[in-house]
Structure 1
């Protein structure tokens, strides 16, 4: 059943899915499976394997719910063979819950009260639609609790309403109508219409749109506005049409029974069916919007984590500010803090002469190769100041995103790393390290705090966290980790390692010194064969005796590479990087039961350029120095900018002022844009054209001119 379920959702090859499930059940990680078990999976990538993981988990949740429902039905002695077969063959939760609905223990309802008052037989007579004088029959049901005929008929209708609500065919018919025709509409709460905070939602003070076609960002904005109490939200369909469809399924006579059933249908629709299923439809739309928003967030995070590093260079980092001054730190090539102090080049002190002198002397004293300036308050002024300095050596100047730096500086990770320094120093260190290696620094910060998504606080937090964790893990393992310099958070994201083993690796390194070979990793307490198998190839050791220890070649394949070198009459060192020799190797000669052609091709690719960083190198960028505020903008200007956020409806661009400009999806290309990420990437340097400036609302409309 599991195999069939996953294949039906993914359309992947049966053997690929079967082997992947087996590997997952053996506690193999997605990065390890996608990179080192290609023969087993049929070369599935991490996204396809991730889908198998997702549907495997969905299936397990479904099966767990089936077991609970079957147990509950057995306890009630209502489980027939037919019902059991229907439940066991069910392939989605909604259908499963519909099957269980008639037997679900309910709180006290009108129907339950009517049953206790002996009205169920009357309800059955009405539903048979054979009685012509139902009032006379209802008279027989008058008792201590039922005072008159009207009470009897009303109670019977409550029972009928419940039966109608529990009919799967009727529920599915109404679901279909909601899916195809539902409209979401909004109205402003009049007492909140002039509230300052409500103004950002004023587009939705009176709004109506198809629920099926509403873009994810708009639905999330509407639901946030409702949550904050500024608007009221309603789901609407054609009630008359919906009621007619239910009538046609039930009413087959033209007598007084039919009249009572029609009243019961109306009651079931208004009181039970529509409230429940319209909420379900809105929940499904919200779930779909969440998935879209999470996908955008995940793509943005991936681009951010794989941002261009400057590498192991000595950096002077500046966290700019006015009144509190600019915090300076000098970092060595490995990101270690060597010096820190504060300068005051901007108002109110305006001591720019001393600031310039200090920066120049520090650059020379610590042999600085690059300067990183945070992009927050006073960033532009600080960048202009630094560019005035005549350095003795060629020093590149970069503006670096500060997003999340304050989160890191106040975190336990930062306190443990720099217990004797305050948050301002830690924040400056983070800015400098982001230039050296964005991935290594950003993994220390909760991904939701980095600020590259939209409505991240409105989407399902568990799903968001899970997806972002996967992104971090995939990025870390795609790049690889230097085990001798990596922090605990970075090590934690390595395949098969996790927080506890990461801490053990870190402590072992501090106690015994650097790891000299991958074999040494096995000496770490509690790091067993499985963890070594999963993680060893993603952990790199610089200047190791065996050059393969600084490559993505898995230790299980070392023997094959050694055989290649022996057959070619060269040493391992002479084989690695020698394209001429590697090009002519006959790979079929080295195929075994465990190592196939796909793995061998990967090995050759790695041996040609061992340890190659998949990321591009960082590039210097300059904003237009004449643009200092939104009032300096005018229509038609061409400006350099950096993409600082991507959404489903476009992207935001930093053009060097406080407000970011928006390139709406329609202004990214003259052709239809299916995916914003196909046209721009996070932190990409582009040229934009100013289309419109709304100073009062602080909104800037841009068009992509060129990259």
Structure 2
């Protein structure tokens, strides 16, 4: 275990004592949010990102150690374990390198090399390799044996001829070399550094077929494998899985016909052999060629494709996780009465009004669009609902007919202002916002939605969800499987268990960073709180329904199944507003309330008088209140909480203003400056919702006047940005945008995108492919539209 702790400490560049403390806490059942927030003293201030990485590496290294023990046991049972082998196994840093060492000892089906060894040909192979001056044909005469017949009467191994014996030599040597761990690893690293990922259109595929044309950028594609970006790697792998593309690992220089390849030269160099015209050299060259072409080329390609996919999936999962985090931590509109509009054409626009607490108070369906075109009747219905419930915010889903429904909302706001003027009252402050409806249908049909709104039609539940997303995005979106929220790239092509684990961790971190109101939180929200399982979350809600609102955190211990450990892990993240103890609304953990009592004694002030008094609290020295259990770091956190009790780390709520008259992609003109909302971010750029049914792309090179490597350095999902239209390609549904508002429009007399002029080959590919097809969800939809792709 100490070896694992030392390795993790080196990787994270932190102290071994910090890692050891964190491991002990994790093994003791503590959660990452709890450790990051309330055990800074113990871990030396490890943050949640470091702890998440530590948790992942700890699991991997423990699995590696378990596998190491199993490998040692297996080889020992075969009687082949040597001190050198034991040392090599102990030093293997990864699972793959451990398996490379174990390969020669792994139980496998009978190979041609084994059959040749059983026929006694191995000494000949060893002699010819050791002394190439020997004549293979002459030496093979001594190893001829009559054909064998198997027990079932079928013909068995036949080494009755010289060619058959020499083939046996080839099989023995090529198998031995292909299981040489040092050779395999050196070849693999050389190919990773020098090899190319190549793809081409599969034979017999019609490139004009719409499904095939999605992958047009990869019909004649090659790129150094170690520099292939995530989205391009996943695009190639998907094309190959659909049998549209042929993909292969190519050598940096293809060999001339009949000439040895660079890979064969690498193998010969490793063996210390070279062709010198000796009698056995032709046979040995054949063995080397066989080793590469038959044994190692395909396995090396498989290993490196796995490595490329794994790296690409890590990036794709990180993109999804980062975008999800931004979406969950988006600015909440707060306790406002919201009308949710779920756009539709023939089925009508579904309407739901929720009060300031998120409770559904009214529903309706209006038909302003085809085929009824009841615009005035729809305005009348919506106006009555607004007046009845005091609506001051309208949330519009971004699906089909979103822009037309947005215009309906604009006319509604004008109508409300007109009605107020006629009544001699000030115009109501009503705002409209287009929000992502990704996952709303999943929520609507979920078991929780049916429990939450049992007598409400499924379609109307979606409108209620859209409304609540404005009030508190985090509280509403936790009700939906994160994979259904739709902010990933190629999300269906990546490791689903790893994606689920990562996204679950993001949701957990976001929920605990914000804190949860104990008396209003839903079961899905409570179940994301540190230490609370779904069953305990349900028990908390049942207690609340039976006994009324919680008056203090301490009452949690009255909930069935809520023990001391659960209380320790969760209490600091649960808020009780208007309770008996003012500290219960803060992030101060109940275990540190005695520290606050010391502060009260020192200042002579009650808790309520201390809260919010930054001027007074900043004069206090944390050292005065630290003790053996809670040190200076913890006391500083307590004082920070008292300065801003119950503060919300999320930004203030703002609304993007779409331009009037710009409702469709055909309304866009080059040079237009528009305001929009960042709907998704990838390394190569950001997608911006302009309210025209089609997200535009700001390539990474157009985000800033300075060099940007990753788009997230500049923008994040949910940001409201100003952009200029660089180019509009209506047939292909592509919108090129720039955030460099002084940028010139695209040239018409030269390359379609003038960024290509100064780009190198790799950068050209990156730019060319920045609109590459992506899978699943809203981001996938944006990519799909940009490529003329449809799911």
C-alpha separation in 1, matches of 2:190 and 2:93:
22
Would you say the 8 A contact 2:122–2:172 is kept in 1? yes
CA contact (8 A) 1:142 1:149 kept: yes
CA distance in 2, matches of 1:288, 1:605: 40
* Equivalent position to 1:118, from 111, 117, 120: 120
Name 1:64's counterpart in structure 2.
66
Match of 1:495 in 2: 530
2:353 corresponds to: 330
Q: 1:503, 1:68 → 2: CA distance?
A: 42
Cross-structure match for 1:157:
170
Task: Determine helix, strand or coil for the equivalent of 1:687.
Answer: strand
Corresponding residue for residue 382 of structure 1: 405
Q: Is this contact kept in 1: 2:611–2:642, CA < 8 A? A: yes
Q: Deviations over 1:107-133 (max 9, x none)?
A: 232212222333222222222226612
1:133 corresponds, among 124, 135, 140, to 135
Q: CA deviation at 1:665?
A: 0.9
2:240 — aligned with what? 226
199, 202, 210: which one aligns with 1:186: 199
Q: 2:572 aligns with which of 537, 544, 564?
A: 537
How many Å separate the matches in 2 of 1:319 and 1:294?
29
> Who is 1:16 aligned against?
18
* Alignment TM-score, normalising by the size of structure 2: 0.87
Quote the offset at 1:422 in angstroms.
2.0
1:343 aligns with 2:343: no
Alpha-carbon distance in 2 for matches of 1:245, 1:320: 63
Say if 2:482 is the partner of 1:447.
Answer: yes
The answer as to whether partners of 2:275 and 2:285 remain within 8 angstroms in 1 is no
Alpha carbons of 1:646 and 1:253: their partners in 2 closer, same or farther (altered >3 Å)? closer
Shift of 1:634: 2.0
- Residue pair 1:686, 1:706 contacting (<8 A) in 2 also: no
- Output aligned runs, 1:284-303, within 5 Å: 284-303=307-326
Give 1:252 deviation, angstroms.
6.3
1:653 equivalent in structure 2: 688
Residues in 1 aligned to 2:704 and 2:609: alpha-carbon distance in whole angstroms? 49
Q: Which residue of 2 aligns with 1:561?
A: 596
Q: Secondary structure at the match of 1:327?
A: strand
Report how far residue 617 of structure 1 moved. 2.6
Q: Does 1:269 align with 2:305?
A: no
Q: Which residue in the other structure is 2:781 paired with?
A: none
Q: Quote the residue 1:637 is aligned against.
A: 672
Any idea what SS the aligned residue of 2:226 has?
coil
How far residue 230 of structure 1 moved from its aligned partner, in angstroms, is: 1.0
Residue deviations 1:669-694 (CA, integer Å, cap 9, x gap): 22211221121121211111111111
Alignment match, 2:465: 430
Counterpart-to-counterpart distance in 1, 2:299 and 2:11: 27
Give TM-score scaled by structure 1 length. Answer: 0.97
Distance 1:370 1:178 in 2: 58
Q: Is the 8 A contact 1:550 1:610 kept in 2?
A: yes
Moved more, 391-400 or 636-645: 391-400
Report the secondary structure of 1:256's partner residue: coil
What's the CA shift for 1:181? 0.5
Q: Would you say how many aligned residue pairs link Structure 1 and Structure 2?
A: 707
Asked if structure 2 preserves the Cα contact closer than 8 Å seen for 1:29 and 1:495, the reply is yes
Aligned 8 A contact 2:724 2:741 in 1: no
Equivalent residue for 1:175? 188
Tell me, yes or no, if the aligned pair for 1:127 and 1:261 is still in contact at 8 Å: yes
Q: Distance in 2 between matches of 1:384 and 1:63?
A: 62
2:230 aligned residue: 216
8 A contact 2:132–2:279 mirrored in 1: no
CA contact (8 A) 1:687 1:705 kept: no
Helix, strand or coil at the partner of 2:394: strand
Q: Secondary structure at the match of 1:140?
A: helix
> Which stretch shifts more, 178-187 or 505-514?
505-514
Aligned residue among 283, 305, 309 for 1:260: 283
**After the TM superposition, which of the residue ranges 69-78 and 545-554 deviates more from structure 2?**
69-78
Identify the match of residue 618 of structure 1 among 649, 653, 662: 653
SS at match of 1:485: coil
C-alpha distance 227-130 of structure 1, shift in aligned 2 (>3 A): closer
* Aligned counterparts of 1:549 and 1:3: Cα–Cα separation in 2: 37
Distance 1:627 1:269 in 2: 60
Written as runs of structure 1 = structure 2, the 5 A alignment for 1:662-681 is 662-681=697-716
Give the CA deviation at 1:706.
6.0
3-state DSSP of counterpart to 2:178: helix
1:471 aligns to 2:471 (yes or no):
no
Are the counterparts in 2 of residues 123 and 156 from structure 1 also a CA contact under 8 Å? yes
Which SS does the other structure have where 1:584 is aligned? coil
Offset at 1:491?
Answer: 0.9
**In the alignment, is the contact (CA less than 8 A) between 1:331 and 1:429 conserved in 2?**
yes
Mapped contact 1:119–1:152 kept (Cα < 8 A)? yes
1:245 and 2:273 equivalent?
A: no
Gaps of 5+ in 1: none
| Other-structure match for 2:636 | 601
Q: CA deviation at 1:472?
A: 0.5
What do residues 220-276 of structure 1 show as CA deviations (whole Å, max 9, x unaligned)?
111111111111001011462221122123226843333322211110111111211
The 3 A distance-change label for structure 1 pair 195 and 51 is same
Counterpart CA distance in 2 for 1:526 and 1:139 is: 81
